[in-house]
A and B are shown apart, each in its own frame.
Chain A
Amino acid sequence: MIPKWMDISQVSLTRSLVLSGVAAVIGIGIAGYALFTAKGTSTLVVPPEDIALVNQQPVARSDFDLQLRAIYGQVDINKLSQADRIKVLDSMIREELYVQRGKELDVASVDSDVRAAMVAAVEAGIAADVMASNPADDKLRAWYDAHKDTYSNEGVMTARDLVFPADTAAAAQKALSSGTSPDAAIAQFKGKDSGKLNGEEFYFAAKIHLGDALFAVARALPNGGASAVTTAPDGVHVIYMVANKPPVPLSYEEAYSRVRADFQKAAVDRVQKADEGFFRKRANILIAADLK
């Protein structure tokens, strides 16, 4: 007589429970093994665009070629020996292995250089997408219209900075305004050229040479004009303007390169800010009580 639980012609609660338990243990075992040994989808074929797969991570052929050219740049890389190629490949595989190990060890959490490089790489990745898009002309024109003031060439002036004794400065100024030449005024009113300006200068340079106060006086002068007497710590000045070409606004076409660069820079800033907002939104950030 066989026990009831072994007789498959009869329903047995014991047998059902035992078999269910065994199935559950086998299932958990398989799942556990898979969980701790999973490698994802793997292939045994190296794709044509790669030179190797290291733990299924591709080593790009374009990087390999670039390395070959960087190392053996003076020779035709097609004439390199297989040994030379394998040497470079080996160094790239070594690098990939160390990168993978670095990820396993989470070196970014302890190495500030790695952290900085990762931040820069992510920022660059965001920027790359924006920079690769070609902004429509109407958007660039709208940007140009909104920032027209920033697109002009640099003003140019040719001026003389004359210094006179306090008692003759007013008369010298009057003479200069009436058409007396700077050299004649210097001779007549015992003045001198300060030497701060030297021929034709860009506005920015004239501003550095004259100082802010005298430059502000100078840039407002017309051609052939003489400024009012201006007293400065180094004497009494009269600026005589030989030629003044104020900054000229650039047309959209002339400013195109700068407009495009500025537009894209603003777009990159915008997208990076939006991405950062997204990162913060999905992150679980806990802040210490003393900094809340």
Chain B
Amino acid sequence: MVGISLGSLKKLGRWVSGLSVLTRTVGALVIVVLIAASAWGLSVSKAQANLLRTDPDLESTDPASMKFATPRGEAVFKKDCAVCHGAQGKGDVTRGVPDLADNDWLYGVGAASDIETTVLYGIRAPNRKTWNLADMPAFARKIPYAREPTIPPLTPGDINDVIAFLDSQSGQKVDAEAATRGGAIFSNRGGCYDCHGDGHGDSAIGGPNLVDNIWLFGGTQKQKFDSIAYGRAGYCPAWVTRLKPGKIREVALYVYSLSHQSPAKGPSAQ
């Protein structure tokens, strides 16, 4: 066997020495490039595996993981998410698309794991694990909320009173009597407290904070009236069956990075 191998090697050597210098150089370069590409592929594959095996909340605090994941996540974001959220992730209030860069979160507290859960299972998506615990009722309808039919409709005056109450809670000057009436509706027959608590919302069920002056569907009087009168129910697809787990992790970390500058880039590093 050794004799045969040595013989073959000698034959190969003679064949190579018969080639021109240019051919030998190109051949050597091709071999080097192939080896380098394989090594790079292996290192990426290893890094991706590490990324998947670590908790996303830990990775989001690790500059090396973020450095690896965010450019890759950005590519995924631009391909699959930017069509709704915009290239910079700034959203669109006219369509109820959230700003992903403002660190105000409707679902969860903005941890990388919360973001990943939303990417995986979506919001009101056809998936059993999706965020779908509540919708905003449409109070200008005979049955405002099919999930809780006991909630009664409101009159236009009631709705304006509730808006006055919310405006008063965020420090604006309003008709005090209207705000008082609105507060009573908010805390009683309107059932608003159920999801919005004292007005500061509940991120466990996607109940938005109504007194922080951040409005998903716009904050003009008309937009607020329309939200209460006609209801809201935003939607985000579940990507669990459409993107590979590695890509989901990368895009989740990229979205996290939009509102959390990494130590390497952030003000603390300057």
- A and B, one complex? yes
Residues of A within 8 A of B (CB): 48-49, 60-62, 65-66, 69, 76-78, 121, 123-125, 127-129, 131-132, 134, 153-154, 156, 198-202, 204-205, 208, 253-254, 256-258, 261
- Nearest CB of chain A from residue B149's CB, rounded to whole Å: 15
Q: Are A257 and B120 in contact (CB under 8 A)?
A: no
Select A199's contact among B95, B157, B233, B248, beta carbons within 8 Å: B157
Q: Are B237 and A131 in contact (CB under 8 A)?
A: yes
Q: Are B238 and A132 in contact (CB under 8 A)?
A: yes
Most buried by B among A61, A132, A134, A261: A132
What CA separation (Å) do A129 and B240 show in the bound complex? 11
Given A253-B94, A261-B235, A78–B117 Cβ distance below 8 Å?
A: no
Given A48-B49, A78-B58, A132-B242, A204–B116 Cβ distance below 8 Å?
A: no
Select B126's contact among A69, A128, A199, beta carbons within 8 Å: A128
Q: How many residues of B contact A (CB 8 A)?
A: 47
8 further A-B pairs in the complex, CB-CB below 8 A; given A76-B57, A128-B242, A154-B229: A49-B244, A61-B245, A62-B248, A124-B127, A132-B242, A154-B230, A205-B155, A256-B94
- Nearest CB of chain B from residue A178's CB, rounded to whole Å: 29
A selection of 11 A-B contacts at a CB cut-off of 8 Å is A48-B53, A49-B52, A49-B245, A66-B117, A127-B126, A128-B126, A132-B239, A199-B155, A200-B157, A202-B155, A261-B235
Q: Which residues of B contact A256 (CB under 8 A)?
A: 94-95
Q: Are A131 and B235 in contact (CB under 8 A)?
A: yes
Q: Does B24 contact A (CB under 8 A)?
A: no
Q: Are B127 and A60 in contact (CB under 8 A)?
A: no
Q: Does B241 contact A (CB under 8 A)?
A: yes
- Nearest CB of chain B from residue A137's CB, rounded to whole Å: 11
- Nearest CB of chain A from residue B242's CB, rounded to whole Å: 6
- Nearest CB of chain B from residue A17's CB, rounded to whole Å: 40
Q: Are B142 and A200 in contact (CB under 8 A)?
A: no
Contact code string B106-142 (vs A, CB < 8 Å = 1, else 0)? 0000000100110010000111110000000000111
Select A134's contact among B83, B141, B234, B248, beta carbons within 8 Å: B83
- Nearest CB of chain A from residue B16's CB, rounded to whole Å: 38
Q: Does B191 contact A (CB under 8 A)?
A: no
Contact code string B137-154 (vs A, CB < 8 Å = 1, else 0)? 000111000000000010
Given A49-B52, A49-B246, A208-B142, A128–B84 Cβ distance below 8 Å?
A: no
Closest residue of A by beta carbon distance from B242: A132
- Nearest CB of chain A from residue B256's CB, rounded to whole Å: 15
What CA separation (Å) do A258 and B240 show in the bound complex? 25
Q: Does B62 contact A (CB under 8 A)?
A: no
Q: Are B153 and A62 in contact (CB under 8 A)?
A: no
Q: Which residues of A contact B142 (CB under 8 A)?
A: 204-205, 208
- Nearest CB of chain A from residue B269's CB, rounded to whole Å: 24
What CA separation (Å) do A118 and B125 show in the bound complex? 17
What CA separation (Å) do A75 and B190 show in the bound complex? 34
What CA separation (Å) do A76 and B239 show in the bound complex? 25
